Amino acid sequence: MKHTRSAALAAVTTLLALHALPLRAAEALSSAGPEGQARARVEAVAAKSRPLVEAERQRPRLAGVWRIVSAPTTLRTVDGREPPLNAAGRKLYGQRVAARKAGHADDPWDQCLPPGTPRAMWVDAPFLVAQAPAKVTLFHQHRHLVRHIWLDGPLKLDDPDPTWEGVSSGTWAGDTLVVETAAFNGRQWLDASGLPQSPDMKLVERLRLVDPATLEDVVTIDDPRYYAKPWTARATFRRLPDDTELPEEECSEKLLEFPLKGYAPE
């Protein structure tokens, strides 16, 4: 996958690396000759990155441990309506609902496959947000998933490699982190009821602090393969104490419930 990063982000990475250098290594860089020239180049890059670092200090602090207030089983739009499925979406969704009622729904989640984005956000388990000038990273207790949101939006993809979580790129709009995500493999359900998603799906999330203890994520889902138009859902998270631990969580034992699956242990 080719995902273009800006020169400013490279500068931030270089600056952070420079600050991590041992004192003797930093002194060596400042010596005469090629080392001194290298030091000058590093300082020039660091100077260009400083405005980005200073701007980050003024951003809302999303960093911390969060947990969803109410985990949804069946998604609804922000105004409480059913998502606007088109004919293909209604057909596939109807098949999944019927299978679930018959007791043999094949939710990929139950097979220990990754929940995907945005479903991973709606799991009733804590996740850690780490915030930096160049990237926001989400560390989930659930399956110990890691999601990287590079702050180089808008999203630009060249020859994308589809994945469960997709590729995310963000930008700040005032006090809101706007995240665009695409390049999905389309193999996951959006919720436990069976709402579909396809590789064509694109997401726009708007993350903001309602107050210091409350985080809101407003998600717009655009998937023309299964939905007649884009639609929006909302989730709210409460802040947990900073010393909250994300304990080990192992799913593979569930595969024992699927003895006929090729990947199940003997």
Residues 32 and 151 placed together within one structural domain of the fold: no
* Residue 49 belongs to domain spanning: 7-57
Q: Which two tokens stand for residue 139?
A: 């560390």
Q: What is the mean pLDDT of residues 140-153?
A: 93
**Does residue 79 sit in the same domain as residue 126?**
yes
Q: How high is the pLDDT of residue 41? A: 79
Specify the DSSP class assigned to residue 252: G
Mark whether 165 and 200 lie in a shared domain. yes
Q: Are residues 69 and 34 in the same domain?
A: no
Q: Assess contact for 165 and 118: CB atoms under 8 A.
A: no
Tokens (6 digits) for 217: 């994520």
Q: Kindly state the helix (H) or strand (E) to which residue 19 belongs, with its residue range.
A: helix 7-19
Q: Are residues 49 and 156 in the same domain?
A: no
Q: What is the CATH number of the domain that holds 248?
A: 2.40.128.20
Residues 101 and 125 reside in one and the same domain: yes
Same domain, 43 and 97: no
In terms of domains, do 39 and 72 share one? Answer: no
> Residue 151: which of 59, 48, 222 has the closest Cα?
59
Quick one: pLDDT band at residue 18, thresholds 50, 70, 90? Answer: very low
Per the structure, the count of domains in the chain is 2
99 lies in some domain: yes
Question: Which of 31, 57, 83 is the C-terminal boundary of a domain?
Answer: 57
Q: DSSP secondary structure string, 132-146?
A: -SSEEEEEESGGG-E
**pTM of the predicted model, to two decimals?**
0.78
pLDDT digits (tens, 9 = 90+) for 94-133: 999 999 888 887 899 888 899 999 999 999 999 999 999 8
> Do 85 and 205 share a structural domain?
yes
Residue 25's pLDDT band (cuts 50, 70, 90): very low
Print the SS3 string covering 32-54: CCHHHHHHHHHHHHHHHHHHHHH
In whole angstroms, what is the distance from residue 29 CA to residue 8 CA?
22
The pLDDT of residue 141 is above 60: yes
- Band of residue 251 on the pLDDT scale cut at 50, 70, 90: confident
Kindly state whether residue 264 falls inside one of the protein's structural domains: no
Residue 71 has pLDDT above 70, yes or no: yes
**Do 160 and 41 share a structural domain?**
no
Residue that finishes a domain, picked among 25, 41, 57 = 57
Is the same domain home to 44 and 68?
no
Q: Under a CB-based contact definition with an 8 Å cutoff, are residues 49 and 11 in contact? A: yes
Q: Give yes or no for a contact between 3 and 150, defined as CB atoms under 8 angstroms apart.
A: yes
Nearest alpha-carbon partner for 166 in 152, 186, 194, 196: 186
Residue 118's identity, in one-letter code, is P
